[in-house]
Amino acid sequence: MLLVLQYWQGDRDEAMRTARLLADVQREPTKEHYVLFAHRFDAEPPDVETLAYVKRKFDIFGVHRGRRKEVGWPAGCNGLAHDIMQLAGESRRRGEWKSVDGVWLLEADVLPLHRDWLHLVAQEWHDASRAGKLVLGAWSPDHSPFGHVNGNMVFHPELWSRVRGLEGSAPHIGWDVYHAHRLSPVWQKSRQMINLYRAAEVTEDQLWPAGEPYVFAHGIKDDSGRQLVEKRLLEKV
């Protein structure tokens, strides 16, 4: 699986911290999963120190500078996500990315909640793919008649060609909501991902609720979640 960490200049520093956190939580170096850094066209590339840090656990697939010129929120985020979908489709068609069976879009505010988070989500994605699904992610009933799967999703590298109409989206609507009607027939609602949209000052009970085996979270807008993850997963390592 290819983990694509997206960022713009405004959250570049946070994205670098997140990249290091993912490497810290990963138990052992892996050859099954890779990391691609993808930055908006007007943002600086990742620093060499972070690249070296992450390389201790993951093969670095490369650094992709966004080819689209949208700016602002959510237009800039939309443009970068669409660009990565297109890149995946083009790379697959050229015979590249043969080892990539899933592309996982990540943002700077993601958090692993379990030491085996990547293995567990990869297995869930494998099961979803075998069932014919092209998308896996945290589902919410909000924002559209279909609900929506959050944009921090895993998708099949050929999603671009298999689902028509993903070339762009309205500049004032998140692409994951805008395309919900297109993606709903091919998405799998993850049992392991949670979207804590714009949450702050989160608690352990929110990240690890009893009976809910969440291993991945997104959306927390302060440092509270990171601090809890570091304490729970890393202090005793």
C-beta separation of 180 from 146 below 8 A? yes
pLDDT at 199 over 70: yes
C-beta separation of 135 from 149 below 8 A? yes
Give the pLDDT mean for 37-61: 98
Q: Which domains does the chain have, with CATH numbers?
A: 2-234 (3.90.550.10)
Share of the chain above pLDDT 90, in %: 96
pLDDT at 77 over 70: yes
pLDDT at 236: 64
Residue 182, judged by CB atoms within 10 A of its CB (0-12, 13-18, 19+), counts as middle
> pLDDT, tens digit, for every residue of 83-114?
999 999 999 999 999 999 999 999 999 999 99
Side-chain-side CA neighbours of residue 152 (13 Å):
25
Query: What is the token pair recorded at 182?
Result: 């297109």
Where do the DSSP E strands lie in the chain? Answer: 2-7, 30-39, 58-65, 103-106, 110-112, 135-137, 139-140, 148-149, 154-155, 187-189, 193-199, 216-220
CA dist., res. 235 & res. 220, Å (int): 21
pLDDT at 235: 85
C-beta separation of 101 from 129 below 8 A? yes
pLDDT at 68 over 80: yes
> pLDDT, tens digit, for every residue of 112-130?
999 999 999 999 999 999 9
pTM, full prediction: 0.97
> pLDDT, tens digit, for every residue of 168-180?
999 999 999 999 9
